[in-house]
Amino acid sequence: MHVRDTSLHGVLLLEPTPHRDDRGLFTRTFDDDTAARAGIDPRSFVQDSQSRSLRGVVRGLHGRDGAGESKLVRVANGAVHDVVVDARPNSPTFGRWEAFLLDDTNFRVLHVPRGCLHGHQTLTVTADVCYRIDSEHEPREDVAVHYRDPDLGITWPVPVTVVSDRDAAAGSWARLVERLTSR
């Protein structure tokens, strides 16, 4: 498994090497030693979650205020256009976003550090996204920015079919920035 830096400070891609043969494939989706060498504490993760979405569905952009959470994100089945927005005011890449293809072919694992927003759009008929999260969910800390916020200008590759009521009503990037920088 190799670790690759991205354009966002602290956001990493862990890239396994799937072994393919006549039976199909086998791949390692997580490795403690690789994570530790990359500065990720493998013992810190306390929750695993999974979502299944249909083509065109957008989930996000979600984050946590307060202590926040870091997570490892991977796709077990299908493909997603995965987006991370740096919402850490003291980060050198604050306000920037980057998109990643996560799928069941390359099996990349995306490390999303505390303080970032995260979302994805399903590119295949269905996609199963797996999350390994390092803190218990505290609903009072949830923050969300609208997936079509004009200040962020995120490009979604296929027509958006469904979003949750919560995501449709999410606030603006400008409002979140004001909240984060007024502390």
Domains, the chain: 2-181 (2.60.120.10)
Residue 72: Cβ-neighbour burial (10 angstroms; 0-12, 13-18, 19+): buried
Kindly name the residue from 62, 81, 146, 147 that is annotated as catalytic: 62
| pLDDT score for 76 | 97
Which position among 131, 137, 146, 147 bears the catalytic label? 131
- Do the beta carbons of residue 126 and residue 54 sit within 8 Å? yes
For 71-127, the pLDDT digits (tens) are 999 999 999 999 999 999 999 999 999 999 999 999 999 999 999 999 999 999 999
Write the burial class of residue 82 (CB in 10 Å: 0-12 exposed, 13-18 middle, 19+ buried): buried
> Is 120 tagged catalytic?
no
Q: Quick check: is 62 catalytic?
A: yes
| Side chain identity, residue 43 | R
